[in-house]
Amino acid sequence: MVVSVPKPAEELLEMLDGYKNMFIVACGGCPVGCDSGGMKRVDELTEFFPQNGKEVTGNVLIDFLCNKALVGSKLIYHLKKLKKSQAVLVVSCGIGVQATGKMVDIPVVPANDTLSSQGMQGLWPSSERCAGCGTCYLAFTGGICPITSCSKSLINGMCGGQHDGKCEVETERDCGWNLIYLRLKEVGKLDNLKKIPHLRDFRKMDVSDKERHTTRWALEKEVIYEAPKQSSEKEEA
């Protein structure tokens, strides 16, 4: 399971500063398992934002946001609402936020911080997209992770070494910050480059024992319901 926790309310408002409204996309997978998502959280957010001067244009719960094809096939039914939304708030791990960002030409904003992925990249496993860094920067970087897309995992912009869009460290690889720049330009958010990102809070990286489930946790789980024992007399009768 990819473990994520809700970002604090103040941070959500900070990330959505300048947006009048947003559409909420929530993952029905891991965040439900670690109690940081699902319809319960969507309902809470749908109540919270109007109280803070922002409109929620609609919402959708999709089984696994890390499945890019599934995200696209479900979002297509919400195009009308998406078209009048200035941002998409994504309730999931960093992989789900990035998959959603690939499907819409509107800025995506993470509602959660991802703490641990145990190397899993969900149903989009071709390369590492989220390292579970504990402080998600995707709202500022156009939905492209600076930790995994930049060889130096820089969070405050390009190092200056890129050449023709390629990284100076791994010359075959696209420079992550060049991709971030191009994406921000595309969605009209180049101003984000002037913002100073939060420093990572390493205390968050301490994933509690309860949350250290592996993908096989269900196999190890103890029985959650014990059927009442039938008495032997009844069985005989």
| Residues at the site binding ligand SF4, with contacts judged by CB under 6 A | 94, 114, 130-133, 136-138, 145, 147-148, 150-152, 154, 158-159, 161-162, 167-169, 175-177
Shortest reach from residue 185's CB to ligand SF4, in Å = 16
For 151, half-sphere exposure in the C-beta direction (CA atoms, 13 angstrom radius) is: 14
Specify the 3-state DSSP secondary structure of 129: coil
Q: What is the DSSP letter of 168?
A: S
Shortest reach from residue 18's CB to ligand SF4, in Å = 20
Residue 11: CB atoms within 10 A of its CB come to: 17
Shortest reach from residue 118's CB to ligand SF4, in Å = 13
For residues 78-105, one letter each, b for 16 or more C-beta atoms within 10 angstroms of the residue's C-beta and e for the rest, the string is beebbeebbbbbbbbbbbbbbbbbebbe
Residue written as token pair 């968050």: 204
Question: Nearest residue by C-beta to ligand SF4?
Answer: 94
Beta carbon nearer to ligand SF4, 81 or 200: 200
Shortest reach from residue 33's CB to ligand SF4, in Å = 17
Beta carbon nearer to ligand SF4, 57 or 64: 64
Beta carbon nearer to ligand SF4, 63 or 168: 168
